[in-house]
Structure formats: C-alpha cells, structure tokens
Amino acid sequence: DMRFYIERCEAMRNFANKLWNASRYVMMNLSIDKNELPALSELETSDKWILSKLNTLIADVTENLDKYELGVAVQKIYDFIWDSYCDWYIELTKTRLQGEDEGAKLAAQNVLCFVLTELLKLLHPFMPFITEEIYQALPHEEQFIMTSRWPEYRADLTFPEEEAAMEAVMDTIKAIRARRAE
C-alpha cells in the first residue's frame, strides 16, 4: 500500500510543465540538425560542468535502476533537471545564444540538445509520453526514444576541475543572493 498525496500530483504536474517549457526554450534556440557534442576544446567551463554532472547522473541512475531503487533514481533525475539543467545551465547559456560569437552559440546549442536528449532517455521509463513527444521534436537518429540506446557513462566527459570551479561560482552567486534577501 502506498499513500496518495494530492500535493505530489501537483508537484509532478509542475515538473512536467518545467520540462516542457525548458524543452520549448531549447527548441526555439536550435539551428542545428544533428545532435552531437562539439570538440572538447570548444566547450566552456559551464558546458564541461553540465556534461560532467550528467555523466555522474547517468552512472548513478543506471546503478539505482539495476538495484531496483526506482524512487531514488527518479528523484536524482528530478533534482538534476530542476536545479542543474533548468535553473543553472539554461540560464548560463542565454547570453551565448543571443551573442554574436557563432562558435559559442553553436557549442551552447549542441550541449543543450545533447544533455536534454540524454535526460529524456533517463526519464523515459517514468514519463514515457511526454519524453517521446519532446524527443520527436529534437534532432535525433533513432526513430523512437524507446528504441534508442540507454545513456552510458563516458570517461571522456568527466571534468572534475571545471566542475569544482563552476560549483565555486555557483556558491558565490547563492551567497550574494542570500545576502541581498537578508
């Protein structure tokens, strides 16, 4: 038996709305027709940070699913999408997407699309209909998200130095916001 909470339904509705809006924002800013990462030398610190965090998430979620820890796995995906991807990374890419530097703009688009696609694949077992709908609107190679390859941990996408640097910047911004709120 499980307890039913109306509040959880509302929270998940809000999450689905957040995912949908983030995906619409990414799609509005895409001018690419292929979903691939740029060369590592073209990535900025924020790109390496999100890719490193995604890489860790993929390993953790895969391990949780192998152990049948479904609640833990979906909570990690939820936290990553809400906090890291939407609240930080999308905001960090806005200036690059509206800037004049075409290389930076293209790199941001590729990373935004790659990370979103991988997140949709991780989230698909829990939210199949919305993830399939979003996936079909993004550049992709497989016909359906269900038949696509499960994301795998990649050692080349681990950037501990950039991740630490980005976390320090984020902590500073949070401290300034907290101080201003006081």
- Summarize pLDDT for 111-125 with one digit per residue, the tens: 999 999 999 999 999
pTM: 0.91
> Residue 110: phi, psi to the nearest 5?
-65, -45
Q: Which tokens belong to 157?
A: 């996408």
Count of Cβ atoms closer than 10 Å to residue 14 Cβ: 11
Q: Please give the Cα distance from 88 to 142 (Å, whole number).
A: 29
Which residue is associated with the tokens 């983030």?
22
CA separation for the pair 149, 42 (Å, rounded): 26
Exposed / middle / buried, residue 16 (Cβ in 10 Å: 0-12, 13-18, 19+): middle
Cβ-contact 58, 149 below 8 angstroms: no
pLDDT above 80: residue 1? no
| Residue 47 pLDDT | 94
Q: Summarize pLDDT for 54-112 with one digit per residue, the tens.
A: 999 999 999 999 999 999 999 999 999 999 999 999 999 999 999 899 889 999 999 99
Q: Which residue has the tokens 């030398």?
A: 41
Q: Which residue is listed with tokens 């890419």?
A: 93
Rounded Cα gap, residues 23 and 21, in angstroms: 5
